[in-house]
Every structure is written in C-alpha cells, then in structure tokens.
C-alpha cells in the first residue's frame, strides 16, 4: 500500500536556484503563428526513428500521419498543418552531435485544414485500456517532460501488475522553464481530462498531482477545476521548491517516501509517473481528436525581447519563435534548448521545435557563462553533497575519465539523472555530466556491439549445426540406398520367370502372325502368285548381287 504523505519530504542534495520564470509568465499562453515551412525530424524521442509514409510532392492535411513507427519503443508523426511535402532529407535538428538529421519538410498552405479524425473516443471512460493505449500510440504521444518516452508504453503496466498510484508531475523545477505552469493555468481542463483518461487506462487506485510550492496560480487552477467537477479523489500537493524536485524518482520520494530501486522503475513499486503536458496531450487527442502536432514552449532569457509561452506547431524553426517574441536583444550570447542546467546548446536557430522541446533559452553571458577551463579534482566532496541520487560523482568522473566502464557501473552510473547539480558546484569546473553522458553512450555502444557479436555467433553456430545435420542426413540416405541395392529382392526369381514367359509368348505370337500371313497367300490368284514369285526372284538375285 502506497501512502501519499500529508507532509511532503525533501530530497537529499539538490540546489536552490533562482527561478527566473516570471519573465515568460508575464503574458497569457498564446498560439504561435504557423511558419511557411516546417521541418519535422523523423527522430524526436527515445526509441527508433519513424519512417516516412508519403513522398515529396504529396499534399497533406493537418493531423494526417506522415511517418509511421515500426518498433514498440517509437511513435508516429503527424502533419502539423495542411500543405505539401517539399523535401525529405538532412536538415539541422536538435541533437548533441550537432549533425543534421532526416526531416520531412512541409510547405504550409496557410489554410490549416484538418484531416479525418480517427482518434476521438466518445466512450473513452468505458473503453478497454488496450484500446486507449492504441489511440495514444496512434496519436504519436510521447512524454513531454523529459526524454520523450512513448506514452503508450508507460500506460501499460504489464500483466499481473497493479497500479497503486498515478503521479502527475507538475513540478517544473528547472529555472527559466514555465511551459507546464502556463499549461496548468491556461489549459487546465485538458490537463484534468488527460489525468482522468490515464487513471482509467491504468486502473490506478490513487492519483496525486505534485506541483512546486512557488506555483500558487497553477495549484489553484487545478484545484478549482477538480472542485467544480466534484473530483475529490485526485489530490493536488505543493512540494518544496528545490532543484531537481521534478525528477521522476525524486518526486515519487517527496510525495510518498518510497525509493525506486537502483536501475528499477516506478512500476516496480506500483507507481506510474506522467508529466502534466503529456496528460493534456492525451486529453486533446482522445476527446478532441488532435494528435500530438503542437506543444507549449517557453521562449525566454535576456537575449529575447518579449519572453512568453507559446503553443507551437512541431517543426517550427526556432528563428520564427524568436521573431514572434520580438527578436533578439543585443545581450544574446548562447541559444539553449531546455534550461540552463540540462539544456542542449544549439549551434543555430534554424533548428526546429520537436516534441520534447520545453524551452528555448536565448541566454546572455551572465545567464549561461562560457565554461571555464577544467582543473584537477581536489576531492572536496561538494558534488556528492548536492547529488539528489546519493551517488559519488567524483568516483563516476574518475572511472569515466579512465574509461573503466565496468567499475563505473558499480557506482550506479545509470542512476544518475544528469541533473547537473554536481557540475554546478564543482570548484574545479569539471564538466562532470558530460563525462557521465559519454560513459553511458560508450556502455550502450558496447552493449549493442556485444549483442551484434552474440547474434553473429549464434548465426554461425546455427549454420554449423545445420551443415552437420545435412551431412548426417545425406550419409544416412546413402547408406539406406546401398543397403537396398545389396538386399536380395523378394520375388526376384518369380519375376524373372514371368519375364521369360512373356518373351516366349511374344515370339509365339509373332510366329503365329507369320503363319497367318503365309496362309493368306492360299487365296491368291494365279496371276498374283506369279507376281510374288517374280518379286522374290528379283529380291534373291538382288541379295546375291549385293553379296557379289
Ligand atoms: S566537486 Fe569537483 S573537485 Fe570537488 S570532489 Fe567533486 S569533482 Fe572533485
Ligand atoms: S548529474 Fe548525476 S551525479 Fe551529478 S548530481 Fe546529478 S544525479 Fe548526481
């Protein structure tokens, strides 16, 4: 039995950071203009990239599927607006490598005409959870709060697993990012609709929405909506504002005191956690029939004139958003996708918004200072003090640096949530998180190589086995044939006798025929007989001449 605590706990470690959210919360959430061209990357989330369904030149309607997903951990893509596909190829995309990625390029026709609706479920609260999961998958919904894990997978607890608690994560803890807060304030109904659908799909016994205590407006909006609907069994709880309280494991601990086991999942405890943005996307898809073609993005930082929260179509280039927020100021120094702690540094504003883009931070040099040169670790232990996952960051760094990928896993590398607290406090300016990301990538690559080698070895062993089996079968067939040849056949003498008898019969019949032919001459006239005698005579003399 999971108990929702009356008094939320504090996470170990963590940092109290300046929120810097008021800049973007000054205005109401609004819809961004649809750009003339949208660039929809085929890979926008954890799992396999989607595969294009249409070709260059094809016309499309808003919400029409444009790329399908084959694997379980993947999600389809939909046209963000109506228009025409003008290219499928490599374009700038948000990726740590900075390399281009395959995108479907759409030229908008300005009409924003929607295609047929195949997602809406009028009887969603009567529907089978499997049908709901399938619609959520068809809608291309992924987790909008983090790495973008396909939501349909997280809505499936698996056989014989009961969901005791559904946690809705509204604790948007990273500075500058306010898209979830804005969503909770301005799209409250969609959030609550999604929460109800998720509760039904998971058959969750309890539901709690965790929101940082510095978001009173969001808390009151949700609570009012629940009160109006008479929803007394969904609780809204204010949690202490500390970074990274919005981490999945951290929020579960704060609300319940339960610790997700190392390398385990919340479902191991009977808990499932979803982001508020994901809830709103589900509400919108299953009750309004709109797949995931837009999301709320915070555009902020001292480098942009009018920070705001905008509802943006997926595929919109960042340059368009900056322009719609008044353009750059002369303070802009760096562009980040995400916040200052976990954000991805962008090489250009041609990069489009994807499903997991929560914030565009046009940062000044003070907001995102250039990293200072790293110095040797002085073993001060400050990184361990702030680690919310209770890890030893300096040990992780040491083994990552030494490329000792076995040992680093003993120190629970995969429990690191890459929050960046350790990097933030390190007096030696060591980019610790980069080392952890590098180590994780190397380990995943090694595992993939090992899997490939294992598969190749299995294939080789299977082939050898097959060849050996075929050889044995051939030998057996040959031995059998030889044996059959040498074996005296039953009835051989009898059949020989029969053959001889048949041959004798044939000779007899021939002779009989000849005598019949001879007897036929009896009826010849004298003239005919003389003629035959003449022919015989000529034939006989001919034979003699031949012999001569
Ligand atoms: S904070 Fe930096 S210097 Fe201090 S122990 Fe950690 S890695 Fe070393
Ligand atoms: S980045 Fe990882 S190691 Fe560093 S503080 Fe966060 S969880 Fe701990």
What ranges in 402-431 are assigned the alpha helix state H? Answer: 407-410, 421-425
**Residue whose token pair is 């000849």:** 514
Best residue for ligand 1 mutational test, from 13, 380, 425 (most atoms within 8 Å of Cβ): 380
Report the candidate in 382, 26, 367 with the shortest Cα–Cα distance to residue 175. 367
Q: Which residue, by CA, sits nearest to atom 2 of ligand 2? A: 416
The answer to whether the CB of 26 falls within 8 A of the CB of 307 is yes
What pLDDT does residue 489 have?
61
| Any ligand 1 atom below 6 A from CB of 394 | yes
Nearest bound ligand to the CA of residue 431: 1
Q: What are phi and psi of 274, to 5 degrees?
A: -130, 150
Q: Would you tell me how many other CB atoms lie within 10 Å of the CB of residue 104?
A: 26
Best residue for ligand 2 mutational test, from 339, 382, 393, 408 (most atoms within 8 Å of Cβ): 393
The C-alpha torsion from 329 through 15 and 179 to 335, rounded to 10°, is 30
Q: Which residue, by CA, sits nearest to atom 4 of ligand 2? A: 422
| Any ligand 1 atom below 6 A from CB of 429 | no
What pLDDT does residue 490 have?
56
Nearest bound ligand to the CA of residue 426: 1
Report the candidate in 171, 241, 158, 255 with the shortest Cα–Cα distance to residue 207. 255
Ligand 2: list residues with CB < 6 Å: 386-389, 391, 393, 396, 416-422, 432-433, 436
Cα 220 from Cα 211, distance rounded (Å): 11
Alpha-carbon distances, residue 364 vs 41, 50, 329, 348, 423 (angstroms)? 28, 36, 9, 16, 20
Nearest bound ligand to the CA of residue 381: 1
The answer to whether the CB of 317 falls within 8 A of the CB of 286 is no
Q: What are phi and psi of 205, to 5 degrees?
A: -75, -40
378 CA closest ligand 1 atom index? 3
Sign of the alpha-carbon dihedral angle for 524, 530, 531, 535: positive
| CA-based end-to-end distance of the chain | 125
The C-alpha torsion from 144 through 149 and 150 to 152, rounded to 10°, is -90
Whole-number Å distance, alpha carbon 426 to ligand 2 midpoint, is: 11
Supply 462's token pair: 């299977």
Supply 370's token pair: 């250039």
Whole-number Å distance, alpha carbon 372 to ligand 1 midpoint, is: 15
Report the candidate in 333, 341, 332, 336 with the shortest Cα–Cα distance to residue 359. 336
Whole-number Å distance, alpha carbon 408 to ligand 1 midpoint, is: 16
Beta bridge partners of 131: none
415 CA closest ligand 2 atom index? 7
Kindly report whether the global pTM for this prediction surpasses the value 0.75. Answer: yes
Digit-by-digit pLDDT tens for the chain (548 residues) are: 899 999 999 999 999 999 999 999 999 999 999 999 999 999 987 778 899 999 999 999 999 999 998 888 889 999 999 999 999 999 999 987 778 999 999 999 999 999 999 899 999 999 999 999 999 999 999 999 877 899 999 999 988 899 999 999 999 999 999 999 999 999 999 999 999 999 999 999 999 999 999 999 999 999 999 999 898 889 999 999 999 999 999 999 999 999 999 989 999 999 999 999 999 999 999 999 999 999 999 999 999 999 999 999 999 999 999 999 999 999 999 999 999 999 999 999 999 999 999 999 999 999 998 889 999 999 999 999 999 999 999 999 999 999 999 999 999 999 999 999 999 999 999 999 999 999 999 999 999 888 888 888 888 889 999 999 999 999 999 998 888 887 666 566 777 788 888 888 888 888 777 655 554 555 666 777 777 677 767 666 655 554 44
**Segments of 96-164 assigned E as strands:** 100-108
Q: Which residue, by CA, sits nearest to atom 2 of ligand 1? A: 426
| Any ligand 1 atom below 6 A from CB of 343 | no
The answer to whether the CB of 184 falls within 8 A of the CB of 226 is no
Supply 225's token pair: 């909506």
Residue 362: enclosing H or E segment and its boundaries?
strand 359-363
Q: What are phi and psi of 532, to 5 degrees?
A: -60, -40
Supply 202's token pair: 């998971």
Report the candidate in 438, 122, 159 with the shortest Cα–Cα distance to residue 286. 122
What pLDDT does residue 548 have?
41
The answer to whether the CB of 304 falls within 8 A of the CB of 281 is no
Whole-number Å distance, alpha carbon 374 to ligand 1 midpoint, is: 11
Whole-number Å distance, alpha carbon 307 to ligand 1 midpoint, is: 35
């Amino acid at each position: 039995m999971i108990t929702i605590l009356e008094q939320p706990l504090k996470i170990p470690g963590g940092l109290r950071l300046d929120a810097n959210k008021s800049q973007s919360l000054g205005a109401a959430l609004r819809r961004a203009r649809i750009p003339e061209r949208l660039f929809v990357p085929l890979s926008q989330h954890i799992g396999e990239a989607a595969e294009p369904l249409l070709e260059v030149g094809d016309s499309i309607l808003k919400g029409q599927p444009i790329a399908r997903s084959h694997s379980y951990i993947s999600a389809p893509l939909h046209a963000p607006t109506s228009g025409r596909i003008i290219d499928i190829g490599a374009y700038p995309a948000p990726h740590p490598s900075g390399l281009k990625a395959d995108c479907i390029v759409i030229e908008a026709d300005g009409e924003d005409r929607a295609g047929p609706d195949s997602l809406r479920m009028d009887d969603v609260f009567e529907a089978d959870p499997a049908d709901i999961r399938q619609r959520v998958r068809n809608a291309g919904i992924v987790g909008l709060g983090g790495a973008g894990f396909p939501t349909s997978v997280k809505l499936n607890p698996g056989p014989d697993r009961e969901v005791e608690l559904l946690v809705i994560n509204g604790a948007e803890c990273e500075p500058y990012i306010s898209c979830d807060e804005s969503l909770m304030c301005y799209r409250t109904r969609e959030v609550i609709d999604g929460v109800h659908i998720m509760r039904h799909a998971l058959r969750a016994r309890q539901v709690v929405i965790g929101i940082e205590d510095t978001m009173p407006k969001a808390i009151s909006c949700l609570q009012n909506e629940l009160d109006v609907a008479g929803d007394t069994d969904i609780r809204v709880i204010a949690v202490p504002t500390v970074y990274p309280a919005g981490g999945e494991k951290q929020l579960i601990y704060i609300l319940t005191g339960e610790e997700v086991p190392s390398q385990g999942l919340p479902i191991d405890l009977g808990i499932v956690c979803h982001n508020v943005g994901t809830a709103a996307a589900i509400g919108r898809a299953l009750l309004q029939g709109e797949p995931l073609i837009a999301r709320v993005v915070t555009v902020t930082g001292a480098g942009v004139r009018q920070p705001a929260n905008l509802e943006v179509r997926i595929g919109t280039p960042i340059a368009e958003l900056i322009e719609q927020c008044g353009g750059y100021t002369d303070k802009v120094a760096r562009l980040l996708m995400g916040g200052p702690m976990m954000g991805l540094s962008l090489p250009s504003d041609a990069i489009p918004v994807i499903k997991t883009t929560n914030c565009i931070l046009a940062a000044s040099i003070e907001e995102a200072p250039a990293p200072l040169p790293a110095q040797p670790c002085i073993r001060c232990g400050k990184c361990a003090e702030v680690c919310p996952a209770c890890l030893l960051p300096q040990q992780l760094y040491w083994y990552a640096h030494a490329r000792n990928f076995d040992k680093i896993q003993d120190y629970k590398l995969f429990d690191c949530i890459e929050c960046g607290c350790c990097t933030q406090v390190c007096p030696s300016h060591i980019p610790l998180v980069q080392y952890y990301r590098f180590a994780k990538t190397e380990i995943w690559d090694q595992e993939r190589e090992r899997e490939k080698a294992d598969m190749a070895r299995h294939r080789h062993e299977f082939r050898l086995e097959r060849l050996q089996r075929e050889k044995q079968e051939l030998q057996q067939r040959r031995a059998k044939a030889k044996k059959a040849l040498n074996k005296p056949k039953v009835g051989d003498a009898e059949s020989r006798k029969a053959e001889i008898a048949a041959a004798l019969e044939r000779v007899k019949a021939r002779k009989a025929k000849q005598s019949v032919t001879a007897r036929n001459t009896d009826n010849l006239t004298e003239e005919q007989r003389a003629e035959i005698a003449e022919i015989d005579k000529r034939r006989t003399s001919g034979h003699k001449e031949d012999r001569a």
